[in-house]
Amino acid sequence: MDVLKRFSNRFKASLPAYLLLLPSLVFLALFTYGAMGRVLVDALYQRATPKAPVRFVGLDNISAVLADPAFTGAVVNNLVYAVGTAIPSIGLALLFALALARTNAVSSALRAALFLPVLIPMVAASALFMFIFLPNVGLLDYYIGRLLPVLPNWLGDPDVALYAIMIITIWKNAGYYMLFFLAGLQAVPEDVMEAAHLDGAGPYRRLRHIILPELKPTFLFVIVIATLNAVTQVDHVFVMTQGGPSNSTNLVLFYIYQQAVEHYDVGKASAATLLTLAALMGLTALSFRTMANREGGP
Amino acid sequence: MLFSRRLMLGLAMAGSFASALAFPALAGEGPTEIDLFFPVPVDGKLARDMGTLIKEFNEGHPDIKATAVYTGSYDDTLIKTRAAIKAGKPPSAVIMSANFLLDMQIENELTNLDALIKADGTTKEQFLGQFFPALQGNAVINRSVYGVPFHNSTPLLYINADKAKEAGLDPEKPPQTWAELTDWAKKLTKREGDKVTQWGIAIPCAYDYCGWMMETLTMSNGGRYYNEEFGGEVYYDTPSMLGALTWWNDLIYKHKVHTPGATPGPAVSTSFISGNAAMMMLSTGSLTYVRDNAKFNYKVAFIPHNVRNAVPIGGASLIMPAGLEAEKQKAAWTLIKWMTSPEKSGWWSRATGYFAPNMAAYKTPDMVDFLNKNPDAKTAVEQLDVAKPWFATYKTVPVRKNLEDEVMLVLNGKKQPKEALAAAQKAADETLKPYNAETSLKLP
């Protein structure tokens, strides 16, 4: 009885809060959870032949996706892409942030310059890079062509295309991650740095033993963001390669698009979406838990 | 009657969402409102031209209010049309890539136009007879009309006439066979040591374009890409396609007159405009771009042949999605007929660079005048005599991609033509399997 009363009291107390949250909850339900629910349902249905009715197939769609070499290829490409874009762009971002940590006129101008690629929409940037990468006549070949006799067909060679795409991502994201590191550097305690200075610690030791440990939460956060970007940003694949040549730049999200649109196979597209969502949610939960532990919990 | 219409108008103007949702039938008392989905595959100016065209239509037809909705590329237009059909609000007419029609018909997404043609008192033969015969294959499925050709193209050979003269070749006598073309390309390739400073020829290969070029080369080698009568078969592993791909491969690795790898369409046209490639094979749709940008004399010619002169068509047709209300269907049919009439067809052709599908368009004074000023636009029309339909199968895009992925490997020197085509055939047969299961292999 007492428990019930306490519960109802608590509910009464928080009722206004729920009421205030209601509009957002409605929209979340409609546009986020509703869509996810629909994907979940769609992933369980399939039709055997074009004119046959849609019927319940359970997990068949998921196993069909897992057995599809195009999907496994896309997953491998995506892993290479995620690692190959996250590490260099985070490394560059840290380097930029360390170099430009002190605010003065020059560093502000440089920060703005490094941040500029973030402001350019990915589609516009891809269209620009398409012309930079043009074989024989593009800007890149025009300059490097003077040094090397034979150049790769940047976007037309399956061995090179994924790396060409990765260069754009790194160029575009490094400036963005730099912002987080700049913010993180502000949080490094001034007195600790000063003490290290007095104790005769050189720049390398200060970086290794003070700055980097202090930046750990920032690192974790940026890694999560970079991984999410690697899965959700495929605008340049759409514009520049359409996943080609020979599927060499096909990423998971583009694979889903292909299944839904080109193959007109909603079941397989939904199944692939579910798998991706599960992987991303698992990864995010894991990272944020690690982060919370390091911070000492909320 | 008048009063009630006014009342309705007043109600509609009040902008009440609920009334519009609850009484959709009553809304039909005003002018019939129809949507036209249109893609812009070439450049941004087309959107403005389309606006002009639709405005003119609305002024001439007070009982219909057509709205042109820009829907992106050909592929995007298919996606948006399908989404609109699924949402229960199909557009009344769509300018659809001509090789998507069969796939849509198989999915029951198209309105059969036979009844509308009959209601006009014309026979199917009379109706189709207005259009170039080459375009009819992509508009007719199982002897029923499902699309009306709107703007079309064929591939052409573009030649940098200045460079040809420089190399001692006569641009007035363009190469007509693969042997001649190979010879021209060799003479037009310039090298400095290992480095090629000017390529003899460029042929585009990116998804979509690559399949179309393979169809072009296969046809001029005597072959067929697919079964024109039945959407469940493609002919990838055949001598005619093997010859086509081997020749393309030879241009790269044996004669070394074509840049290695897969080159997308914009890269090919830029390469040609900048003088880096002396010849290219590209759509007639690029003619306006070349005319406006080339700082040299150029010449366009038929695609050279090995066995026979033949090329596929490209471009788009006007279609009506399935499940339209009778009134909208009627209004959309009026719009479609108006847009494909000789005058409008010709006007659109001059604005865009596509050729006009309606043969009578070329007899209008404006068109005669235009062709006299731009004789290069004539080549595309003349080549129509040897043109054939664009490949269209069940799941056209994935089936095409099954071939393109393998062709790209060949152009990059990673596979030999023979094994690539065998792999492409196997993959395509797999993609086509469900359709065959309910058609050709569904036995009593």
- What's the pLDDT tens digit per position in A194-224? 898 888 888 888 888 889 999 988 998 899 8
Report pLDDT for B429: 96
Of the two residues B250 and A10, the one the predictor is more confident about is B250
pLDDT at A134 over 80: yes
Q: Nearest-CA residue of chain B relative to A154?
A: B261
Task: Taking residues A28-44, report their average pLDDT.
Answer: 90
pLDDT at A296: 45
Q: Which CATH class is domain B155-312+390-438?
A: alpha beta
- Give the confidence band of B29 by pLDDT, cuts at 50, 70, 90: low
Of A51, A52, A130, the CB nearest to B266: A130
Residue B9 has pLDDT above 60, yes or no: no
Q: B263 — contact with chain A (CB < 8 Å)?
A: yes
Chain mean pLDDT for chain B: 89
Query: Chain A: residue nearest B78 by CA?
Result: A261
Question: Helix/strand/coil (H, E, C) string of A243-292?
Answer: CCCCCCCCCHHHHHHHHHHHCCCHHHHHHHHHHHHHHHHHHHHHHHHHHH
- Number of A–B residue contacts, CB under 8 Å: 109
Tell me: the pLDDT tens digits for B383-416? 999 999 999 999 999 999 999 999 999 999 999 9
CA dist B336 and B318 (Å) reads 7
Helices (H) and strands (E) in chain A, counts: 15, 2
pLDDT confidence band for B163 (50 / 70 / 90): very high
The predicted-structure confidence for A139-167, as pLDDT tens digits, reads as follows 888 887 777 767 788 888 999 999 999 99
Number of Cβ within 10 Å of residue A260's Cβ equals 20
**Scanning every residue of chain B, which has its alpha carbon at the shortest distance from the alpha carbon of A147?**
B195
What are the residue ranges spanned by the domains of chain B?
A: 2-152+314-386, 155-312+390-438
Q: pTM for this one?
A: 0.86
pLDDT given at position A153: 84
Top residue of A136, A142, A155, A241 to mutate, by most chain B CBs within 10 Å, is A136
- Which residues of A sit within 8 Å Cβ distance of B? 48-52, 130-131, 134-137, 145, 149-150, 152-153, 155-159, 241-247, 258, 261-264
Q: Which residues on B lie below 8 Å from A246 (Cβ)?
A: 405-406, 408-409, 412
Q: Taking CB atoms and an 8 Å cutoff, what residues of chain A touch B401?
A: 262
How far B310 CA sits from the closest chain A CA (Å)? Answer: 27
CB contact under 8 A, B271 and A242: no
Q: Does B272 touch chain A (CB under 8 A)?
A: no
**Residue B10: per-residue pLDDT:** 44
Position B6 scores a pLDDT of 47
Widest Cα–Cα separation across chain A: 86
What is the three-state SS of A187-234?
A: CCCHHHHHHHHHCCCCHHHHHHHHHHHHCHHHHHHHHHHHHHHHHHCC
Residues of chain B in contact with residue A247, where contact means CB-CB under 8 angstroms, are 405
B355 and B284 Cβ atoms separated by less than 8 Å: yes
Note the CATH number of domain B2-152+314-386: 3.40.190.10
Scan for tokens 């060409």, then name that residue: A164
Task: Output Rg (C-alpha) for chain B, integer angstroms.
Answer: 24
B274 touches A at CB < 8 Å: yes
Cβ of A228: how many Cβ atoms within 10 Å?
14
Q: Is the dihedral of CA B48, B54, B59, B60 positive or negative?
A: positive
ipTM over 0.90: no
Q: How far is CA B197 from CA A137, A150, A218, B190, in A?
A: 10, 11, 49, 6
| Residues paired with residue B30 on neighbouring β-strands, in sequence order | none
Confidence label for B41 from pLDDT (cuts 50, 70 and 90): low
Phi-psi map region of B311: left, alpha, beta (phi>0 left; psi -120 to 50 alpha): beta
Closest to A223 in 3D by CA, of A283, A172, A281? A283
- Of chain A, the percentage scoring pLDDT greater than 70 comes to 97
Find, in chain B, the residue whose alpha carbon is nearest to that of A242.
B207
B199 touches chain A (CB under 8 A): yes
User: Chain A residue with minimal CA distance to B80?
Assistant: A261
Percent of chain A topping pLDDT 90: 45
Contact state of B406 with A131 under an 8 Å Cβ cutoff: no
Q: Is A125 helix (H, G, I), strand (E, B) or coil?
A: helix
Is A245 within 8 Å of B261 when comparing Cβ atoms? yes
Task: Kindly tell me if the per-residue pLDDT of B13 is higher than 50.
Answer: no
Mean pLDDT value across residues A4-10: 80
- Separation CA A152–CA A159 (nearest Å): 9
Nearest by CB to A245, from B195, B262, B267: name it: B262
Contacts of A124 in chain B (CB under 8 A): none
Task: Set out the domains of chain A in order of their start, with CATH numbers.
Answer: 43-295 (1.10.3720.10)
Q: What is the model's pLDDT at position B287?
A: 85
Q: What is the 3-state secondary structure (H, E, C) of B143-162?
A: CEECCEEEEEECEEEEEEHH
Q: Nearest CA to CA, how far is B191 from chain A (Å)? A: 11
Report the relative pairing of strands B32-38 and A55-56 from DSSP bridges.
unpaired
The larger pLDDT score, comparing residue A51 to residue B319, is at: B319
pLDDT bucket at B42, cuts 50 / 70 / 90: low
**Is residue A244 a contact partner of residue A156, using CB atoms and an 8 Å limit?**
no
Please report, for chain B, how many H helices and E strands are present, in that order.
Answer: 20, 14
Residues 6+ apart with CB under 8 A from A193: A206, A210
- Residue B46 has what pLDDT? 75
Q: Which residue of A has its CA nearest to B260?
A: A153
How long a stretch of residues is chain A? 298
- At residue A89, the pLDDT reads 95
Contact B274 A131 (CB under 8 A): no
Note the pLDDT tens digit of each residue in A168-185: 999 999 999 999 999 999
Per-residue model confidence (pLDDT) at position B427:
96
Looking at residue B118, what is its pLDDT? 94
pLDDT of residue A298: 36
Whether the predicted pLDDT of B18 surpasses 70? no
Predicted local confidence at residue A293, as pLDDT: 66
Do A149 and B193 count as a contact with CB atoms less than 8 A apart?
yes
- Position B28 pLDDT exceeds 50: no
| CA dist., res. B248 & res. B411, Å (int) | 8
Of A52, A134, A245, Cβ closest to residue B267 = A134
Q: Which band of pLDDT confidence, cut at 50, 70 and 90, is reported for residue B375? A: confident
Checking if the pLDDT of B218 tops 60, the result is yes
Q: pLDDT digits over B117-161, tens only?
A: 999 999 999 999 999 999 999 999 989 999 999 989 999 999 999
Q: In B146-216, which ranges are E strands?
A: 148-153, 155-160, 190-192, 195-198
Reported as type and span, the H/E element at residue B417 is helix B417-438
Q: What is the pLDDT of residue B95?
A: 95
pLDDT of the residue at B288? 81
Task: Tell me if A152 and B411 make a contact (CB, 8 A cut-off).
Answer: no
Nearest-angstrom CA–CA distance, A118 and B178: 49
pLDDT higher than threshold 70 for residue B301: yes
Quick one: which of B334, B232, B285 has its CA closest to B98? B285
User: Are the C-beta atoms of residues B23 and B329 closer than 8 Å to each other?
Assistant: no
CA distances to A45, A46, A48, A62, A256 from A40, in Å: 10, 13, 19, 11, 14
Across the interface, of B78, B259, B412, the residue whose CB is closest to A135 is B259
Q: Which residues contact residue B126 at a Cβ distance below 8 angstroms, ignoring those fewer than 6 apart? A: none
Written as six digits, the tokens of B118 are 């009959």
Cβ contact B261–A156 (<8 Å): yes
Quote the radius of gyration of chain A (alpha carbons, Å). 25
Short-list B371, B341, B370, CA closest to B358? B341
Q: Is the pLDDT of residue B26 over 60?
A: no
Using the beta-carbon criterion (under 8 Å), do B261 and A152 form an inter-chain contact?
yes
Domains B2-152+314-386 and B155-312+390-438 fall in the same CATH topology? yes
How far is CA B167 from each of CA B161, B254, B356, rounded to the nearest angstrom? 10, 21, 36
Three-class secondary structure of residue B299 per DSSP: strand
